[in-house]
């Protein structure tokens, strides 16, 4: 497995990481715990060193799963987790708002350390920007945790460029995590140039479009009732039908390269910048192997030009989140 450095930091990780959320949250009922422990440990055997979780996934159960699976392999892996949501005080499965008050950040860090079974959190992201707490206070709280040895690196998720700059001035930001793929190109306009200027790494989540870019989903696919794609505008049957043009483009290039559409989608991301590390999620070993295989797929400048010009003619249908969640991005 190739390695990449996240920006100017000394944080080196596998070129492709593993997003762990879907193992216990978001895509229908949680998967079998022992099976997921096996997938996580198999990922390490295959050279994956970068794992992504958050307290809100479950809540809590995903961090516990990752902690249990990876604790015997602690020296070989980098675990990222996140803070910033206000969880249901009655223990419900949903968050009830945002909370990035410094005292809350520190409470979350202590709880995450226990669930992950670690002495320090490798990368601690603010999950969503909290409009009620100045980002300088957030960065300052993480800076305190870094000085105490409880956190190693600071990250932001779905933040806008002014927030990134203000945070970075207080505590250097190692990585920004936002949705980015061939069907979510938003970060290209402002975020990626800003990260390049500041020397910050970029971690695309949903690099396979929540499964859509794999070519395994069409307008007739039925999702489990607990699958959050049921409320995503981009996943209405009409939108899926219209968006298949993008999958057709990937499939055409995949055939030529003797690869899969998913591998082309990931290889395209890897070719954008050397400091980009996508984190596709999966519950299946064969999909893990497929995703890792993307590192070996070489896209020439002609291939990239072809993808660029073909993708420019395709208008993606549907927002990537319902309105209430869309408002929480890009702040």
Q: Identify any residues that bridge with 124 across adjacent strands, giving them in sequence order.
A: 81, 154
Residue 11 lies in a domain: yes
Average pLDDT over residues 176-202: 98
Q: Which of 27, 57, 125, 205 is catalytic?
A: 57
State phi, psi for 92 to the nearest 5 degrees.
Answer: -70, 170
How high is the pLDDT of residue 14? 98
How high is the pLDDT of residue 151? 98
Overall number of domains in the chain: 1
State the angle between helix axes of 161-170 and 191-198 in degrees (0 to 180), rounded to the nearest 10.
20
User: Does residue 60 register a pLDDT over 90?
Assistant: yes
Average pLDDT over residues 189-214: 98
pLDDT, one tens digit per residue, over 212-270 is 999 999 999 999 999 999 999 999 999 999 999 999 999 999 999 999 999 999 999 99
Under 8 Å between Cβ of 1 and 295:
yes
Residue 197 lies in a domain: yes
Q: What is the mean pLDDT of the chain?
A: 97
Residue 51 lies in a domain: yes
How many other C-beta atoms can be found within 10 angstroms of the C-beta atom of residue 72?
11
Residue 331 lies in a domain: no
How high is the pLDDT of residue 175? 98
CATH number (domain holding residue 30): 3.20.20.100
Residue 153 lies in a domain: yes
SS3 state of residue 210 = coil
Tell me how far apart the alpha carbons of residues 286 and 13 are, in angstroms, rounded to a whole number: 22
Under 8 Å between Cβ of 9 and 174:
yes
321 assigned to active site: no
Percent of the chain with pLDDT over 70: 100
Please work out, in degrees rounded to the nearest 5, the angle formed at the alpha carbon of residue 11 by the alpha carbons of 74 and 54.
60
Tell me how far apart the alpha carbons of residues 167 and 153 are, in angstroms, rounded to a whole number: 13
User: Does residue 208 register a pLDDT over 90?
Assistant: yes
How many other C-beta atoms can be found within 10 angstroms of the C-beta atom of residue 14?
23
Average pLDDT over residues 273-301: 98
Side-chain half-sphere exposure of 221, counting CA atoms within 13 A: 18
- Residue 219 zone, left/alpha/beta (φ > 0; ψ -120 to 50; rest): alpha
Q: Which domain holds residue 164?
A: 3-326
How high is the pLDDT of residue 94? 84
State phi, psi for 62 to the nearest 5 degrees.
Answer: -70, -40
User: Does residue 91 register a pLDDT over 90?
Assistant: no
Tell me, yes or no, if the pTM score tops 0.95: yes
Percent of the chain with pLDDT over 90: 98
Start-end of H helices in the chain: 33-45, 61-70, 102-116, 135-147, 161-170, 191-198, 237-257, 261-272, 285-293, 301-312, 323-326
Average pLDDT over residues 27-47: 97
Instruction: Label residue 110 by pLDDT band (50, 70, 90).
Output: very high
Average pLDDT over residues 274-281: 98
- Residue 285 zone, left/alpha/beta (φ > 0; ψ -120 to 50; rest): alpha
How high is the pLDDT of residue 93? 80
Residue 191 lies in a domain: yes
Residue 101 lies in a domain: yes
């Amino acid at each position: 497995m190739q390695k990449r450095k996240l920006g100017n930091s000394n944080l080196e990780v596998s070129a492709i990481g593993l997003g762990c959320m879907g193992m216990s949250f978001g895509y229908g009922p949680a998967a079998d715990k022992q099976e997921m422990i096996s997938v996580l440990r198999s990922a390490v055997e295959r050279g994956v060193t970068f794992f992504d979780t958050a307290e809100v996934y479950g809540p809590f159960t995903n961090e516990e799963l990752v902690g249990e699976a990876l604790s015997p392999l602690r020296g070989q892996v980098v675990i990222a987790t996140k803070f910033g949501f206000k969880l249901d005080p009655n223990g419900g499965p949903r968050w009830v708002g945002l909370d990035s008050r410094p005292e809350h950040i520190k409470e979350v860090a202590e709880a995450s350390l226990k669930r992950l079974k670690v002495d320090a959190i490798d990368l601690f992201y603010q999950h969503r920007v909290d409009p009620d707490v100045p980002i300088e206070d957030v960065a300052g709280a993480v800076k305190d945790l870094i000085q105490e040895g409880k956190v190693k690196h600071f990250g932001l998720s779905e933040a806008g460029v002014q927030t990134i700059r203000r945070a970075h001035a207080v505590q250097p930001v190692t990585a920004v995590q936002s949705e980015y793929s061939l069907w979510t190109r938003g970060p290209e306009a402002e975020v990626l140039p800003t990260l390049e200027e500041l020397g910050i790494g970029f971690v695309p989540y949903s690099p396979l479009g929540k499964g859509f870019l794999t070519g395994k989903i069409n307008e007739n696919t039925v999702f489990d009732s607990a699958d959050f794609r049921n409320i995503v505008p981009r996943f209405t049957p009409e939108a899926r039908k219209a968006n298949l043009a993008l999958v057709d483009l990937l499939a055409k290039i995949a055939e030529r390269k003797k690869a899969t559409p998913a591998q082309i989608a990931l290889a395209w991301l890897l070719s954008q910048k050397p400091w980009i590390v996508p984190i596709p999620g999966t519950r299946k070993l064969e999909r893990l192997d497929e995703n890792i295989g993307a590192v070996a797929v070489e896209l020439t400048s002609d291939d990239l030009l072809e993808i660029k010009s073909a993708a420019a003619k395709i208008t993606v249908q549907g927002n990537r989140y319902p309105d209430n969640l869309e408002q929480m991005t890009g702040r």
